[in-house]
Structure 1
Amino acid sequence: MFRFRLALVIAVSFSFVLLLGAGMYWGSEQVAGHFQRSQSAYKAFDHYERLSQEAYRYFKQQMDRLITGGSNAETELETSKQRLLEAMQALRDQAIKQPTNPTDRQDQDKSAELERVANLTAFLDASEYRFNEVEHLYKQGKRDLALLALSKFSDEEIDVKFQPLIDDAIHNERKKAAQAKQELENLVRQSRLAAIFASVVAAIFSLTAGIFMLGRLKKPIEALMQGTDEIASGNLSYRISLNSGDEFAYLASHFNEMALELGVQQEKLRQNQAELEYRVEERTFELHQLNQELKHMDTERREFLADISHELRTPMTVIRGEAEVTLRGPNRDAEEYKDTLHRIVDLSMQLGKYVNDLLFLARAETANLQFEWDELNLTELIGSSVEDFKVMAEVNNISLSFTGLEQSIWVKGDKQRLRQVLFILGDNACRYSKPGGHIRITSWLEAEYVHISLADQGIGIPSQDLEQIFDRHFRSQNARLLQDDGSGLGLPLARSILKAHGGLINVSSTENTGSTFTISLPLISANEDHVSYE
């Protein structure tokens, strides 16, 4: 219903607009027509004025020539005649092009205009004939008759016939211009009155329709606003009562359904919240139980570490005692030394097992490592480490070459920790190199860093594993197949130590070809800007 009323108001308003537009268009067409008629009348008036001037100039020149009998004015006479003919032709063209309206009066005006033009044309043709007769009399020597004929033409033809034709035509064109002006003024006045009337009617209609529509909208909108306020305040039991049978009643009905659905959803939320609280309480109790179990496991871990520490202390003490006793005793034969070494080897294997157990339990991070910072000669440290590498390489039937720096290179760091990094890389190179392979160690300077590269010809690292080799406990598949006793802690530990020194470690590798590890450490001048001492 409301949509129908709104559409009706819009249709009536649109009709008003169309009607007003049509009226304005008709008025503009009428104004254009009257203006064109007025302009045509003024143009015709100008043409008649020009024709009159040209005709009298021509008549005067003809009379002067005939009276004086001179021949000097022939050229001017010919020019004057030409201008008269042009004026006559322009008047004739104007009469033909004169606009007409589909009315009898306009058709009569145009016919009268054409008739006047025809009479003027006929008079000019006749005047030319009369001038020729007068000239003929002059040539026959009948001057008196010629002057009499010329005077009679001037008095009877020009003054009695030609001048009234011109005056009547000018008067008629003035009358038509005045009439067109009057009609134009009347049309403007009528258009103004019509516009005022249409504006008043449109204003009254718009005001009436606005008041009507406002009255129809006010009550349902207020009811809907009150309903939304009640729902927003939490009163989901509130219902909107509208029985208008229109779109607002439809909206109110759906609003009430929404409020009912919200109430049902709110009740479900309360139930779910209660159930959630119950489950949270259960999970809290379970977490408490798990926490107690974790505490128990932590206690067991501490006891295990204490046991392992005791077990480590024992074989180390025995190893030391065996070595000291054997060294102190004089005159020991080779068999006794051999037996002592066998016992030391067995205890070392047991000690290695304990160390491997501890490595799997270790969670060493940079923040937990202790460093003893000092200025150290890295050239000496690399040289001594290379000598140790040679021993490990010989055991594994691997050759080793070293290309290093001859001058002393000073860095700030922990000597034992840096040695640990070198041993991790050297041990991995020896463990994963093929017998008969070669290890190449190189050191060089670049900018404010010293670089140490260790390249082997071992099993290499698969490309998909390169990004993970520095993760704790990660070992590539081929490494696990070759050596099953690794822990995957060496490379992460080496990176942590280098990070604490402001350094980096990079790797490039090709599977079944070999790997190259490169470490970079800042020199002592640059190192002071990167390292935070502990």
Structure 2
Amino acid sequence: MFRFRLAIAIAVSFGFVLFLGIALYWGSNQVARYFQRSQTAYEAFDHYERLSQEAYRHFKQRMDRLMTTAPTAEAGVESSKHRLYEAMQALRNTAVKTTDVESHSIHGTSQAAELERVAHFTAFLDASEYRFDEVERLRQQGQIEKAVQALSKFSEEEIDGRFQPLIDAAISAEREKAGKAKQELEDLVAHSRWIAILASVLAALFSLTSGILLLRGVRKPIEALMKGTDEIASGNLDHRITLDTRDEFAYLASHFNQMAEELNVQQDKLREGRAVLEKRVAERTFELNRLNEELKRMDIARREFLADISHELRTPITVIRGEAEVTLRGQEREAEEYKDALQRIVELSMQLGKYVNDLMFLARTETANLQFEWDSVDLSELVAGVVEDFQVMAEEKSISVALDAPAGPVWVRGDKQRLRQVLFILGDNACRYSNPGGRITVALRMDGSEASFSLTDQGIGIPSEDLERIFKRHFRSRNALHAREDGTGLGLPMAKSILKAHGGRITVTSAENSGSTFTVSLPLLTAGPDHNPSHQK
């Protein structure tokens, strides 16, 4: 009901607006048309005035020329003739323009008269030129008296008798046309003003009346709805809105009542759920606090452990490196083997120093974000040197170390110290967890575009259920924990991170109590040792 009444009010209001717009549009078009007609009439009036002036000036120049033979008279005739024909052409253009403007108006009948006047003027000017030329021939033939009589007759009969009335009639017609267009324009403006006033008054009266009727129809339902929403918003969900109508407001009131009833039911459920949730939150909070305290204790212990390892290793490393460098700088160098041994001590001390830095970095930031110095590395030479160090570590348990590597170089791109660190991690694990009198086999192969390094031991092996976890930080398999108490579980995860940065990978196959085989794969450097890779940190 209310929507129907509102739609009618909107449609009628739109009709008023549309009617007023159409009326204004029609009125503006008419005003523009009458204004254009008035402007054209005044323009034609000006052109007739100019034509009259130029015509009489030309006639006077022709007459003066008949009286004298001076060259200046000839020049004056040509100049006045040129201006006369310019005025005639301007009048002709105005006549055509007038024809276009009036072609769709009720005054279209004046088109023929206008064009006919222009034709009469054109014919008269052409005839006058002919008459003046006739008089000029008589004067040149010496018949001066006849020439004067012909000129006098032409002036009286043609100029005064035909041209002057014709120009006067044209000017009068244009003046009348301009006045008539002005009057029509004023009448149209007055009518448009009254139409706009009448339409505006009717629209205002209708809008006021329909607004009052609609306001009276919606005031009571809106007040009831506002009161109901205030009650519901304040928490009184038992309040109900009552309306005795059958329109949209009654439909809205019924939905408000239904919403209040559903909110009341949901509020009861929320109270019950809140009590259960609070109980569970209290239980979970207690459990989380306990776990958080345990994690804090474990984290503090881990940090202290890593810091202690870094501190305890730094002092002996500094001593070893200092003694080795002093020995190398000494004067007595007769025994070449001592020099080689001291050189290895320096290299090992630098390697251990990098270990300590990694451990300290891990203790501070919890991530081993290692730095690299890239270069071309001969993996064959690197493996041969590391195997010599393996043999030193293996002598304590009478373990033999065998190397199977190609005679030529195997070039890869990487950080030499980091790759040495990976090999040391694998060799140290093999020596630590191998049985006395066992054997460690190291093999280096080239397989297509990759270099493959494998290390096989005859140690305690890795349980099958732990193979997927040995590369996780701080993890040690159960038999490793039983065999040796020392160890942090950081070596293999660090080796995997280093190889991943080199674009390589590490895999393992093992059987418990039978030994393990670790295989490292790295992409070959196809450009050879002359390739100058970029150094990056």
Give the structure-2-normalised TM-score: 0.59
1:30 CA displacement: 0.8
2:316 is the counterpart of 1:377: yes
SS at match of 2:438: coil
Larger Rg: 1
Q: 1:431 maps to what in 2?
A: 433
CA contact (8 A) 1:51 1:84 kept: yes
Match of 1:507 among 485, 490, 495: 495
Distance, in Å, in 2 between the alignment partners of 1:195 and 1:179 is 24
Partner of 1:234: helix, strand, or coil? Answer: coil
| Deviation of 1:67 (Å) | 2.7
Whether contact under 8 Å (1:66, 1:135) holds in the other structure is yes
1:385-439 deviations in Å (ceiling 9; x for gaps) = xx9x9798544634599xxxxxxxxxxxxxxxxxxxx9xx967742157922179
After superposition, residues 183-194 of structure 1 pair within 5 angstroms as: 183-194=184-195
Of 361, 365, 375, the residue aligned with 2:301 is 365
Paired residues of 2:37 and 2:178 also in contact (CA < 8 A): yes
The residue aligned with 2:146 is 145
Structure 2 residue 50 is matched with structure 1 residue 31: no
Kindly state the Cα deviation for residue 25 of structure 1 after the two structures are TM-superposed.
1.4
Give me the whole-angstrom Cα distance separating, in 2, the residues matched to 1:3 and 1:12. Answer: 14
Between the aligned partners of 1:142 and 1:484, the Cα distance in structure 2 is 152
Mean CA deviation greater in 505-514 or 372-381: 372-381
Matches within 5 A, 1:25-64: 25-64=25-64
- Using the TM superposition, give the Cα deviation of residue 33 of structure 1 relative to its aligned residue in structure 2, in angstroms: 0.8
More displaced, 90-99 or 459-468?
459-468
1:398–1:229 CA distance, 2 compared to 1 (3 A)? farther
Shift of 1:240: 0.9
- Tell me, yes or no, if the aligned pair for 1:42 and 1:173 is still in contact at 8 Å: yes
Which residue of structure 2 lines up, in the alignment, with residue 529 of structure 1? none
CA-CA distance at 1:241 after TM superposition? 0.9
Preserved CA contact (<8 Å) 1:398 1:430: no
Q: Aligned in 2, Cα 1:180/1:487: closer, same or farther, shift over 3 Å? A: farther
Cα distance, 1:203 vs. partner?
3.1
Quick one: which amino acid aligns to residue 34 of structure 2? H
Contact 1:61/1:77 (8 A) holds in 2: yes
Q: Which residue does 1:334 correspond to in 2?
A: none
Q: 1:100 aligns with which of 94, 99, 102?
A: 102
Task: Work out the number of aligned pairs and report it.
Answer: 387
Q: 1:28-81, CA deviations, whole angstroms, 9 ceiling, x for partnerless residues?
A: 211211121122112212221221122112211221222335566344424433
2:84 is aligned with 1:115: no
Q: Residues 71 and 491 (structure 1 numbering): CA distance in 2 closer, same or farther, change over 3 Å?
A: same
Residues in 2 aligned to 1:26 and 1:278: alpha-carbon distance in whole angstroms: 76
Q: Does 1:491 align with 2:491?
A: no
Note closer, same or farther for the CA distance 1:395–1:157 as it changes in structure 2 (3 Å cut).
Answer: closer
Alignment of 1:151-190 (within 5 A): 151-190=152-191
2:237–2:261 Cα contact (<8 Å) kept: yes
Deviations 1:486-505 (CA, angstroms, capped at 9, x unpaired): 3897434x76xx9xxxxx99
Deviation at 1:139, TM superposition (A): 4.5
Provide closer, same or farther for how the CA distance between residues 236 and 149 of structure 1 changes in structure 2, counting only shifts above 3 A.
Answer: same
**Secondary structure of residue in 2 paired with 1:107:** coil
Residue 230 of structure 1 aligns to a residue whose secondary structure is helix
The 1-side partners of 2:120 and 2:20 are apart by: 48
CA offset at residue 251 of structure 1? 1.4
| Structure 1 residue 94 displacement after superposition | 2.3
Q: Which residue of 2 aligns with 1:4?
A: 4
Bigger CA drift: 190-199 or 14-23? Answer: 190-199
Q: 1:491 to 1:109 in 2, by over 3 A?
A: same
Q: 1:80 to 1:464 in 2, by over 3 A?
A: farther
Deviations 1:459-489 (A, max 9, x none): 8989843542514xx52xxxx6xx4873897
CA 1:456 to 1:164, structure 2 compared with 1: closer, same or farther past 3 Å?
same
- 1:253 maps to 254
Letter in 1 for 2:301: E
| TM-aligned CA deviation for residue 380 of structure 1 | 6.5
In 2, Cα distance between the equivalents of 1:203 and 1:363? 82
Shift of the 142–219 alpha-carbon distance from structure 1 to 2, 3 Å rule, reads same
Q: How many Å separate the matches in 2 of 1:62 and 1:363?
A: 124
Cα distance in 1 between the residues matched to 2:30 and 2:220: 50
1:184 Cα deviation from its structure 2 partner: 2.3
Aligned partner of 1:196: which letter? I
SS in 2 for 1:465: coil
1:505 and 1:398 map into 2 onto residues whose CA distance is 27
Q: Report if the CA contact (8 A) 1:458-1:514 is conserved.
A: no
Unaligned 5+ segments in structure 2 are 291-297, 322-344, 349-388, 404-423, 443-453, 497-505, 510-516, 521-537
* Structure 2 CA distance for aligned equivalents of residues 128 and 261 of structure 1: 107
Aligned to 2:399: 397
> 8 Å contact 1:393–1:399 — kept in the other structure?
no
Q: Check 1:463–1:125 CA distance in 2 against 1; reply closer, same or farther (3 A cut).
A: farther
Q: Which residue of 1 is the match for residue 469 of structure 2? A: 465
Residue identity matched to 1:50: R
Q: Deviations over 1:268-287 (max 9, x none)?
A: 4556667x49997xx99xx9
Contact 1:429-1:456 at 8 Å conserved across structures:
no
Cα distance between partner residues in 2 of 1:12 and 1:194: 18
Amino acid at match of 1:506: M
SS at structure 1 position matched to 2:494: strand
SS in 1 for 2:495: strand
CA distance in 2, matches of 1:174, 1:29: 23
User: What is the RMSD of the two structures over their aligned residues, measured on CA atoms?
Assistant: 4.8
SS at match of 1:365: helix
Work out the CA distance in 2 between the residues paired with 1:116 and 1:64: 28
Partners in 2 of 1:364 and 1:144 — Cα distance?
Answer: 143
Does the CA contact (< 8 Å) of 2:472 and 2:493 recur in 1?
no
Is the CA contact 2:41–2:175 (under 8 Å) kept in the aligned structure 1? yes
Alignment CA distance shift 1:226-1:395 (3 Å): same
Distance 1:271 1:68, change over 3 A: closer
Equivalent AA in structure 2 for residue 51 of structure 1: L
Change (3 A) 1:393 1:469: farther
| Other structure's SS at 2:241 match | coil
